[in-house]
Structure 1
Amino acid sequence: MKVLIVMGALLLSSPLYAAQLVLELGANTRTWQTEALLKHPEARTVQIAEDVSYKKPMNYRAVPLAALLTGVQANDHLQAVALDGFAAELPAAPLLNKTGARAWLAIEDPAKPWPPLGDGKKSAGPFYLVWTDPQAGHISPEQWPYAVASIKRLSAVADRFPALLPSPDLAKDDPVNKGFELFQKNCLACHRLNGAGDAQFGPDLNIPFNPTEYFSGDFLKRYIRDPQGMRHWPQGKMPGFSATVLPDSELDLLVGYLKHMAGRKQPLGQ
């Protein structure tokens, strides 16, 4: 009986390292366990002054993401997929920075779990992409994916999902093409458009209707700024995009892309 009690005490006191992160980087694909990441030679404690998910300062044990992206080049494209289907599209260049806005993979230690994100919610773990000095790189909230399960190297969004592309008749520097870039950065992590995209989180933004077709006047812009202020929904998860994150000029470009795509609907599955 004493042996069983001692064994039970050991099990309760020993952290369980069950989580794993899959990095699908071509020839350098690797699976990392929580324990190995916590012991990584470059792991350190980082202070996040304004955490996007917790809305307060946070400290994390983290590894510079660049240290894990073996073989990744600045012109590559990555996708971070979360356990809930959130799929953040991430140009590799900012993730490889060693100065300025710097990306870190925060690792939740089972022996020191992070707080829940809200009532009835889980924490941001087991893995969370956080940034130090994000203002220096104009980092969007969508570039802070939490509950990350895998990071993949993929071809560019335009190559994978031609249904997202604006009209080829537009000039390269047309504002609609700039809006398309902003859509990839700020919207594609949660939403699809014309059925195209990998996100499993939010509704399609063109099928059956584009939001520019049912939000009149400036209501769409107001909704993007403050979703809960326009549609109060306790389970709503869409973040608001402040003018600091998405300046008015960029918001206009984003809405311009959506208006353009309302005229380029494609049947789902094509």
Structure 2
Amino acid sequence: MKSILALFALFLALPVAAAQLTIELDHTSKTWQTEDLLKHPDAQTVHIVDDVSYKRSMTYRAVPLAVLLPGLQTENHLQAIALDGFAAELSAAPLLETHGARAWLAVEDPTDPWPALAADKPSAGPFYLVWTNPQAGHISPEQWPFQVSGIKQLKTVAERFPALLPDPKLSANDPVNQGFALFQKNCLACHRLNGAGDAQVGPDLNIPYNPTEYFSGDFLKRYIRDPQSLRRWPQAKMPAFAAGVLPDSELTLLVGYLKHMAGRKQQP
């Protein structure tokens, strides 16, 4: 065990190496090297206030993500895959915005590496999706994937994972369907439900039990607001969803979707 820990510590101490990022769209695919992105004609130095991952202001060399997504349409869908199994489901529309909340691909320079995210952890590199003016677009923490290894265009979540769908008899604007949209935005990057999804970080939220079945009263909402206030341990990864990110009205819709799906269990 000591030898394994020593090797892990050595790995963390190694200098950051150049990396590559493949962006796969339906009509084109391109692999970018760190050096090429750092020298990209649209690369800029961006200042991020209250960085979601570092919990402080940060400065990055970054490229507007929209310029790396040629031909993508606002109705399209992307997935950003991280080295740890985090799979962020991303609607294309906010990624293509050039005003208000704007998405950037931050690129870690091997000669000037970013700080570690925490003790005994690596940095957010080699690539990190960050946002300027995120409050203008109601951007959630799950839309800030770090340690990104690839970005690919996929069919929508509903098309790929029918086990996530609410009762088809419900109208499109039913609160449960509104909650489903919020689940995709805020939860699916880490969690599966009914075994459906690509994430490998958090537990399934319906099999064997849905959290609405074992969190009584308002405890589930309190847990989503601040997981560490109810369950605290050093390895905890779930972020807190403050009211500024997930307003009370949306939190109620999200919990409503989960409660609805407790009655629609499907074994994976």
For Structure 1 versus Structure 2, the TM-score category normalised by the shorter chain is: over 0.9
Distance 2:81 2:154 in 1: 12
Distance 2:16 2:82 in 1: 21
**Does structure 1 retain, via aligned residues, the 8 Å contact 2:16–2:113?**
no
Query: Hey, what does 1:36 align to over in structure 2?
Result: 36
**What count of residue pairs does the alignment treat as equivalent?**
254
Cα deviation per residue 1:96-146 (whole Å; 9 max; x = unaligned)?
A: 111100000000001000000011111000000000000000000000000
Determine which structure has more spread, i.e. the larger CA radius of gyration.
1
Find runs of 4+ consecutive structure 1 residues off by over 2 angstroms. Answer: 15-18
Q: Structure 1 residues 122 and 17 mapped into 2: Cα distance closer, same or farther (>3 Å)?
A: closer
Cα deviation per residue 1:207-230 (whole Å; 9 max; x = unaligned)?
A: 000000010111000000010110
Query: Hey, what does 1:255 align to over in structure 2?
Result: 255
Query: Hey, what does 1:22 align to over in structure 2?
Result: 22
Distance 1:89 1:172 in 2: 20
Query: Hey, what does 2:8 align to over in structure 1?
Result: none
Distance 2:182 2:96 in 1: 20
Structure 1 stretches lacking a partner, 5+ long: 1-14
**Does structure 2 retain, via aligned residues, the 8 Å contact 1:158–1:165?**
yes
Q: Does 1:236 align with 2:236?
A: yes
Distance 1:85 1:66 in 2: 24
Distance 2:175 2:200 in 1: 28
Q: Structure 1 residues 173 and 27 mapped into 2: Cα distance closer, same or farther (>3 Å)?
A: closer
Query: Hey, what does 1:102 align to over in structure 2?
Result: 102
User: How far has the Cα of 1:27 moved from its partner?
Assistant: 2.6
1:209-224 equivalence runs, <5 A: 209-224=209-224
Distance 2:139 2:232 in 1: 27
Q: Does 1:63 align with 2:63?
A: yes
Query: Hey, what does 2:4 align to over in structure 1?
Result: none
Query: Hey, what does 1:141 align to over in structure 2?
Result: 141
Distance 1:49 1:174 in 2: 36
Distance 2:189 2:58 in 1: 24
**Does structure 1 retain, via aligned residues, the 8 Å contact 2:40–2:63?**
yes
Please tell me the residue identity of whatever aligns with 1:222: R
Distance 1:235 1:224 in 2: 17
Structure 2 stretches lacking a partner, 5+ long: 1-14
**Does structure 2 retain, via aligned residues, the 8 Å contact 1:17–1:34?**
no
Distance 1:259 1:45 in 2: 44
Distance 2:173 2:54 in 1: 37
User: How far has the Cα of 1:26 moved from its partner?
Assistant: 2.1
Query: Hey, what does 1:185 align to over in structure 2?
Result: 185
**Does structure 2 retain, via aligned residues, the 8 Å contact 1:60–1:106?**
yes
TM-score by length of 2: 0.93
Distance 2:74 2:158 in 1: 17
Query: Hey, what does 1:115 align to over in structure 2?
Result: 115
Q: Structure 1 residues 144 and 169 mapped into 2: Cα distance closer, same or farther (>3 Å)?
A: same
User: How far has the Cα of 1:17 moved from its partner?
Assistant: 5.1
Query: Hey, what does 1:202 align to over in structure 2?
Result: 202
